[in-house]
Amino acid sequence: MQALARARDEVLPVQELSRRVDDAATLLELAEAEDDPESYVREIADELAAIRTALDGLEIRTLLSGPHDRASAILELKPGAGGTEACDWAAMLLRMYLRWAERNGYKAEIADELPGEVAGISSATVFVTGPNAYGMLRSEHGVHRLVRISPFNANGKRQTSFAAVEVVPQIEDAEEITINPDDLETDVFRASGAGGQHVNKTSSAVRITHKPTGIVVTCQNERSQLQNKEVALRVLRGRLAELADREAEAKLAAIRGEQRAIEWGSQIRSYVLDDRRVKDHRTGTETGNVQAVLDGEIDQFMNGYLRWRAGNGSNDHGSERNGSDGHR
């Protein structure tokens, strides 16, 4: 039944578009037969614009061709160079992705969040559930650069900060990615951050190390050690799936694709608030509506990335190293 539903979702939009094109052609014939064809012009133009928008959406769906592109996604955010500014920037990115998920009908659940010492967050893990979530969000994998007049600087100086976003697929079928229990090293510790007395008195937080690859995942948001372990294993399966997709060796650098130091010269996208400009350095996609972007309107960057990736004939993040002038 699931396979049938997926096939129906592929076929029905094409059939609907075909019907709308036929209807628009019929309307055009009626307009040509009328004494006053101008009365039909606006209606035909509006319908053609709607058809083009729907067609663009179908095109984007055809670009989601990776082995896990239709899966749900796991987002991990980490501040980089910039101190408190970077922690605040990571929190801004977290809000942006939560807003994007809400706009597009995805369920977003914060599985793990660690607050920064002064402001923002020092790390966060978000489960984004829904069809094609990974295929769309993988465009966000990389270093994001913020330039703004710092609210944390008494002199109001312009400051640059960085945050990294890692995206891996959610692997719902545990059998798809088999994990040898002997390859895991599990540590438990007391959770930190907000949460009340329970957080401070029980060793409920879990850290799992996958010894062959060196991948480390942690979770401390859930109340029980068992729940935290299950969440951490879900993240680990996603990372191992991404590693398998890239046919990489058992090294942490391989699973992070193009991810480099979270600092100057490694960004995939720049957000320059005082110049009102957001630019993706891989695709050249740019907009001046900074506030809309920070409110979750990032589909133009995602769509641009999918087209850019298809044009470069690559389904992995490694080719992003050879993007345009973005690493300047």
Query: Model confidence over 123-176: pLDDT tens digits?
Result: 999 999 998 999 999 999 999 999 999 888 777 788 899 999 999 998 876 556
Whether 128 maps to a domain, the answer reads yes
**Same-domain pairing of 53 and 196:** no
Asked which of 21, 41, 62 is the last residue of a domain, the reply is 62
206: CB partners within 8 A, 6+ apart: 186, 187, 188, 218, 219, 220, 225, 228, 229, 232
Give the three-state DSSP class for 212: coil
**pLDDT bucket at 254, cuts 50 / 70 / 90:** very low
**Same-domain pairing of 79 and 167:** yes
Q: How many domains does the chain have?
A: 3
**Same-domain pairing of 232 and 288:** no
Confidence check: pLDDT of 92 > 90: yes
Hey, what amino acid is at 113? Answer: E
**Same-domain pairing of 162 and 271:** yes
**Same-domain pairing of 197 and 168:** no
Work out whether the CA dihedral 21, 26, 27, 32 comes out positive or negative: positive
**Same-domain pairing of 264 and 321:** yes
**Same-domain pairing of 52 and 98:** no
pLDDT of residue 176: 65
Whether 130 maps to a domain, the answer reads yes
Q: What is the mean pLDDT of residues 97-122?
A: 92
Closest CA to 302 of 315, 278, 283, 328: 283
- Domain carrying residue 33: 2-62
Closest CA to 141 of 60, 225, 51, 246: 246
Kind of pairing between the strands at 267-272 and 142-149: parallel
pLDDT over 90, % of the chain: 34
What tens digit of pLDDT does each residue of 171-194 get?
Answer: 876 556 778 888 888 888 877 655
Confidence check: pLDDT of 300 > 90: yes
Q: What is the mean pLDDT of residues 23-31?
A: 85
**Same-domain pairing of 271 and 126:** yes
In this prediction the pTM is 0.71
Distance CA 221, CA 23 (A): 54
**pLDDT bucket at 200, cuts 50 / 70 / 90:** low
For residue 143, list its beta bridge partners: 164, 267
Q: What is the mean pLDDT of residues 69-76?
A: 91
